[in-house]
Amino acid sequence: MKKNNQMDMSTTQVIMFGFLITILVGSVLLALPISSANGNAVPFLDALFTATSATCVTGLVTLPVVTTWSLFGQIVLLLLIQIGGMGVITIMSGLMILLNKRIGIMDRVLIQDAFNLNSLSGLVRFVKKVIMGTLLVEGVGAVLYMFVFVPEYGAKGIWISVFTSVSAFCNAGIDLISENSLCDYVFHPLINVVTSILIILGGLGYIVWWDVIRVIKNWKQWRGKCFRYLSLHSKIAISATLILIFVGAVAFYLFEYNNPKTMQDYTVWQRIEVSLFQSITTRTAGFATIPQQNLSNASAIVSVLLMFIGGSPVGTAGGIKTVTAAVLVATMIAAVRNKDEVSFFGRDITRKTIAKAVAVMSMSFIILFVSTVMLSAVTDADALDVLYETASATATVGLTRNLTGSLNAWGKMIIIVTMYLGRIGPISLAVAFNTKKESPNIVRNPVEEISIG
């Protein structure tokens, strides 16, 4: 009896091939003359680079978006960003729902694995909520952007607002405004606030969304102590996000305070505004209100760390994720204190979860290390600029210290592969733990102590 092909593919494989096919189709479309603003087809390698960056919601580009792509090319970019941000499986499931196709058991397993859910029940409703919630947030963001962009650009400002909102929510960092990202709006309160909120909402993840909404609905019953009744995942994700934003902002404020290339001449409030935005955007968003090449070395290193951590699981952000980083830090503290259990908010973390965190972090670090060495071998750029570029690609951030546009063919290929692995690597690794369970071993190997540290 012939097996169903879908059953032969794991969720990991569906995600990997789904992203790959999306990238290739996007590359072909962007390489068409109709996608170019001047009617001349762009080189395929640049089209491939741009399609990979958009699908992997990274934001690194070798060609300026605002002057290179026609309206058709920009629409292709927007679709790639939306697919990459929401996820291939979410888009596939959404199309099946729209076409009234039956969601079979294997489709439900794919959805369950992709969102790391505990049950097969209610998955169709969950997908609908994800899609509707995404469109609602992006729609509100677009309307708010219109108060700025429509008076400035006229009717074109509507399209710019929609594109920017989708890009911000999906943590893509690609815009149609200028070649220097949002630097022209460095002190604009509405642009800063709306962009920051969209980045944070996209980066927190859908699981946190519904958990927060569930708790808020019952806030009277719980007498306002909503945080206590959140799930452990939500508590860790929200706490880690707030801590990283605050610590990052303080670090940028201190390190850039007397930097004549950035914030030396700013007022106190302007320094706070810029520092907060820099701390938020490094969490895999990729928008910039100050040129990244002007940052001090200390700020650049802090940015690399924040980029590497990224956003939270089951969201639009990249990186190793806040929950992963929190588990690793808690494990370290437990080991230093000679404690057997790792715990958060009165709950112990399983050994399997700790092993996943270590594996995801290790895999991401290997991708970062190898890509940094390889890019250093094919470019004459400063070591810090190279590290910034590869960290941005690995964590799908999109910030650059002016290196992307000067990459040679080998450099572009290295970053393309890094963006792809950075987007599907940690996700696929985490999902792979749930795709196949080995039978328990009756006979175990002897245990022996080794020295660590």
**Which two three-digit tokens encode residue 246?**
């605050």
Query: Rounded to the nearest 10 degrees, what angle do helices 409-435 and 11-30 cross at?
Result: 150
Instruction: Give me the percent of the chain exceeding a pLDDT of 70.
Output: 82
Mean pLDDT of 397-407: 91
pLDDT at 214 over 70: yes
Mean pLDDT of 392-404: 91
The beta strands (E) that lie in 204-349 are given as 343-344, 347-348
Q: Residue 71 in contact with residue 163, Cβ under 8 Å?
A: no
Q: Which helix (H) or strand (E) holds 176?
A: none
**Which two three-digit tokens encode residue 356?**
């996943």
Q: Residue 146 in contact with residue 158, Cβ under 8 Å?
A: yes
Question: Which pLDDT band, with edges at 50, 70 and 90, does 121 fall under?
Answer: low
Count of CB atoms situated within 10 Å of the CB of 365: 13
17-26, 215-224, 265-274: least confidently modelled range: 215-224
Question: Which pLDDT band, with edges at 50, 70 and 90, does 20 fall under?
Answer: confident
Mean pLDDT of 267-288: 92
Query: Which residue do the tokens 């494990």 mark?
Result: 331
CA atoms of 260 and 249, how far apart (whole Å): 18
pLDDT digits (tens, 9 = 90+) for 410-433: 999 999 999 998 887 655 554 544
Count of CB atoms situated within 10 Å of the CB of 437: 7
Long-range interactions of 45-50: CB distance < 8 A, separation 24+: 45/409, 45/412, 45/413, 46/412, 48/23, 48/416, 49/412, 49/415, 49/416, 50/77
Q: In angstroms, how far is CA 80 from the centroid of its own chain?
A: 14
- Domain coordinates of the chain in residue numbers? 5-433
- Count, residues in the chain: 453
pLDDT digits (tens, 9 = 90+) for 359-383: 888 889 999 999 999 999 999 999 9
pLDDT at 5 over 50: no
**Which two three-digit tokens encode residue 269?**
């409030």
Distances (CA, A) of 425 to 8, 74, 325, 387, 421: 20, 27, 16, 19, 5
pLDDT at 109 over 70: no
Question: Which pLDDT band, with edges at 50, 70 and 90, does 7 fall under?
Answer: very low
Mean pLDDT of the chain: 85
pLDDT digits (tens, 9 = 90+) for 39-79: 899 999 999 999 999 998 888 999 999 999 999 999 999 99
Q: End-to-end alpha-carbon separation of the chain, Å?
A: 54
The model's pTM? 0.87
pLDDT digits (tens, 9 = 90+) for 293-323: 999 999 999 999 999 998 888 777 888 889 9
